[in-house]
Amino acid sequence: MAQVGWIGLGAMGRPMAARLLDGGHALIGYDVDRAAAAALGDRAKAAGSPAEAAAGCDVLAVMVATGAQAEEVLFGDQGAAPALRKGAVVLVTATVGPAAVQGMADRLAGQGVHVVDAPVSGGVARATTGELLMMVSGPEAALAVVQPLLDAMSSRAPVVGATPGDGQKVKLVNQLLCGVHIAAAAEGLAYAEALGLDAEACWEVIRHGAAASFMLDDRGERMVHGAGDQVKSAIDIFVKDLGLVLAAARENVYPAPLASVAEQLYLTGRRAGLGSADDSKLIEVLRGRR
């Protein structure tokens, strides 16, 4: 079994790390919130810094929110990179964009450390059951090292490329579609209300027809029933991810008109104070209440 260092034990990172513990892997975890590592219980050690989490590990998993956070935990003060042994593998499961992962791989290659790029999709529920989709790319030898971890955390982990960053590119396609689909669900259900329809009754009808989508089914339910204070995925996540989508689109001289419009809705939600709210509350922007 692998010795795993884990950085980032938030809503997604904690259940993913727990899956590795269930699989018998030894794990030392770090999070800026010290209570997050403690929540894993006696099965895992809590590290006091990213460097401590990385020392002696076979695989260092990075599950943070942004590219800036990944940069800090790897290369900042008390960063993990100098503590990694030659031959270790950094497993990037966060969505930080292809440029960030390619930069990490270039910097770590000089000390004999490989990067496997494996951003995830599926949310907290599938992270808990080990049924995530992981979009994997990296050198063949490094993939072999992390395969038992991928098996523990995912139901599907297709290799989408040999270069770190390829996984991030596939994830950006995924996030473009997810972000637009949530926005479309919010607009459609708010439109139903504007027509004088009962949004819940309308949702129950259309979710079984040609307009069905995972996001209409999942987020639509929370839009019509209310999400309360539960946050499964925050609006701020799509502000970040659609920003990455559009940055990569500009770099490749690719127009992404639907993603651009969707980004404006998420930004409007953030400015209205909904950034940390569940992304199903995007419907409040379309209802004109924010």
Based on the fold, state whether residues 140 and 183 are members of the same structural domain: no
Domain boundary pick from 121, 138, 163: 163
Using the predicted structure, report yes or no on whether residue 229 has a pLDDT greater than 90.
Answer: no
Based on the fold, state whether residues 115 and 227 are members of the same structural domain: no
d(CA 78, CA 54) in angstroms, rounded, equals 10
With cut-offs at 50, 70 and 90, classify the pLDDT of residue 290.
low
Based on the fold, state whether residues 41 and 174 are members of the same structural domain: no
Based on the fold, state whether residues 78 and 116 are members of the same structural domain: yes
With cut-offs at 50, 70 and 90, classify the pLDDT of residue 195.
very high
Number of domains in the chain: 2
CATH at 34? 3.40.50.720
d(CA 109, CA 144) in angstroms, rounded, equals 17
Q: Average pLDDT, stretch 221-236?
A: 90
With cut-offs at 50, 70 and 90, classify the pLDDT of residue 227.
confident
Domain boundary pick from 119, 135, 163: 163
Based on the fold, state whether residues 120 and 67 are members of the same structural domain: yes
Q: Let me know the angle formed at the C-alpha of 167 by 249 and 181, rounded to the nearest 5 degrees.
A: 60
Q: Let me know the angle formed at the C-alpha of 64 by 59 and 65, rounded to the nearest 5 degrees.
A: 155
171 labelled catalytic: yes
Q: Which two tokens stand for residue 46?
A: 């809590």
Based on the fold, state whether residues 69 and 209 are members of the same structural domain: no
85: number of CA atoms within 13 Å, CB side? 12
Using the predicted structure, report yes or no on whether residue 77 has a pLDDT greater than 80.
Answer: yes
With cut-offs at 50, 70 and 90, classify the pLDDT of residue 100.
very high
| Summary mean pLDDT of the chain | 95
Q: For a pLDDT cut of 90, what percent of the chain falls above it?
A: 91
Orientation of helix 214-225 relative to helix 199-206, angle to 10°: 160
* Contact present, 113 and 84 (Cβ < 8 Å): yes
d(CA 142, CA 161) in angstroms, rounded, equals 13
End-to-end CA distance of the chain: 50
d(CA 118, CA 59) in angstroms, rounded, equals 13
Worst-scoring range by mean pLDDT, 29-38, 102-111, 165-174, 265-274? Answer: 29-38
Give the model's pLDDT for residue 224. Answer: 96
**229 vs 181, residue with greater confidence:** 181
Using the predicted structure, report yes or no on whether residue 1 has a pLDDT greater than 90.
Answer: no
Based on the fold, state whether residues 276 and 260 are members of the same structural domain: yes
Please tell me which residue in 45, 86, 171, 281 is annotated as part of the active site. Answer: 171
Residue reference for tokens 């379309």: 286
Based on the fold, state whether residues 158 and 176 are members of the same structural domain: no
With cut-offs at 50, 70 and 90, classify the pLDDT of residue 191.
very high
CATH at 278? 1.10.1040.10
Domain boundary pick from 163, 196, 225: 163
Based on the fold, state whether residues 133 and 226 are members of the same structural domain: no
Using the predicted structure, report yes or no on whether residue 148 has a pLDDT greater than 90.
Answer: yes
Based on the fold, state whether residues 96 and 238 are members of the same structural domain: no
With cut-offs at 50, 70 and 90, classify the pLDDT of residue 3.
very high
Based on the fold, state whether residues 66 and 29 are members of the same structural domain: yes
Give the model's pLDDT for residue 218. Answer: 94
Give the model's pLDDT for residue 2. Answer: 83
Based on the fold, state whether residues 78 and 121 are members of the same structural domain: yes
211: number of CA atoms within 13 Å, CB side? 13
Torsion of CA 35, 36, 40, 42, to 10 degrees: -30
How many helices, marked H, and strands, marked E, lie in the chain?
13, 11
User: What domain range is 11 assigned to?
Assistant: 3-163
